[in-house]
Amino acid sequence: MKNSSIDLSRKCDPSTIACLLKIRDQAEHLAVDFFVVGALARRLILEQYYDLPIRVATLDIDIAITVADWDGYERLRESLILSRSFIPDPKVYHRLWFNQTHPVDMIPFGAVETSEGLIRWPPDQSIEMNVTGFQDAFNDAIQVSLADHLRVRFVSLPGMAVLKLIAWRDRHHEFPEKDAVDIATLLKYYPDAGNEERMFAEHADLMAAAEFDFETAGARLLGRDMAKIMSPQTRKMILEILTVFTDPDANDRLTLVVSRRLPGQDYETALKLLINLKSGIQDIPQPHDDFGNCPKTLELLQCPAGRRHELRRLRGAVDLSAVFENGR
């Protein structure tokens, strides 16, 4: 799936449009960026747009918002409540209810994260959530037209795969099947999600290596697409998941739950798809280091007049000699 924008204006229900319109307006007023993840993204993109067999029966709306601090998160939350279209959930701090029918979960990421990719929920910061990969997914988000007056960012399929694998790792003890259905769907049907032509035109080597098995080649293509959007930190975590939880001789929990979500519940097929997903990630060389992948660094490198003073200030923390090797 390489579309940067898709049109779903005739396939989205009015109540969802009304909810996202309210969120969009309040977020724009506060200069906050967000994108849609979770069940709504699955339902609209996989089921409605690509006609894949998802059949998601939920009204949940999950949005991820990038904020500079927790005050920014609280301002958006309060502005939605003050709009009188949303009420807070009495038990879950990050959940609001739109017109008492749609639960809206708001997940912050960005400057509120720790260096390990964690956020700690107010008020006492005793509950942690892993948001590793959210920035990567946001950077790769696609624009979705839901109405003539509403365009919203949605998670891309590679971004969805990244977030689902990490979510499964973090909560599989409590909810072993919750994220596995999406992982299995992406692995099995990735060629059918707008990628069949790419597999022949841009990745013919995959078809040959897989002996023209579309599912196997598609899983490996998904891995390549994931690798292109992941930071080194995210890549390391994803590869660990695909190594630790797919070992038939030690811990194959991921393989087992994915197999149960495939037609015929075929263990060997699940293992083959997961192995090829990992191989696809490893096909793409890892970026040299975290700093070279940093948006701030890229911005500075594109502004020669101001870059040296700023980067000299940062040189004590990161060796930047290679950055300027050919540009002094």
* pLDDT value, residue 289: 44
pLDDT tens, the chain, 328 aa long:
556 789 998 889 999 999 999 999 999 999 999 999 988 999 999 999 998 877 666 789 999 999 999 999 999 999 999 999 999 999 999 999 999 889 999 999 999 999 999 999 988 888 999 999 999 999 999 999 999 999 999 999 999 999 999 999 999 988 888 899 999 999 999 999 999 888 888 887 887 777 778 899 999 999 999 999 999 999 999 999 999 999 999 999 999 999 999 988 899 999 999 999 999 999 998 865 444 444 444 443 344 434 334 333 333 334 433 433 344 3
* pLDDT value, residue 280: 96
Domains and CATH numbers, the chain: 5-155 (3.30.460), 166-283 (no CATH)
* pLDDT value, residue 319: 42
51 token code pair? 């006609």
pTM beyond cutoff 0.75: yes
How far CA 208 is from CA of 203, 215, 222, 269, in Å, comes to: 9, 13, 16, 18
What is the rounded CA–CA span in Å between residue 55 and residue 34? 25
94 token code pair? 């990050």
Three state DSSP letters for 228-293? HHCCHHHHHHHHHHHHHCCCCCCCCHHHHHHHHCCHHHCHHHHHHHHHHHHHHHHHCCCCCCCHHH
* pLDDT value, residue 326: 42
Place of tokens 């038939």: 248
What single-letter amino acid sits at 3? N
User: Residue 244 in contact with residue 253, Cβ under 8 Å?
Assistant: no
245 token code pair? 């939880």
* pLDDT value, residue 274: 98
* pLDDT value, residue 201: 82
What is the rounded CA–CA span in Å between residue 264 and residue 19? 38
User: Residue 178 in contact with residue 258, Cβ under 8 Å?
Assistant: no
* pLDDT value, residue 264: 86
What is the rounded CA–CA span in Å between residue 122 and residue 312? 36
Q: How many CA atoms lie within 13 A of 327 on its CB side?
A: 13
* pLDDT value, residue 288: 56
* pLDDT value, residue 237: 98
Tell which residue, 173, 179, 285, 274, has the closest CA to residue 219.
Answer: 274
266 token code pair? 């075929």
What is the rounded CA–CA span in Å between residue 72 and residue 129? 18
**Three-state DSSP class for residue 106:** strand
- Say how many residues make up the chain: 328
Widest pairwise Cα distance in the chain? 61
Per-residue pLDDT tens digits for 188-214? 999 999 998 888 888 878 877 777 788
* pLDDT value, residue 212: 74
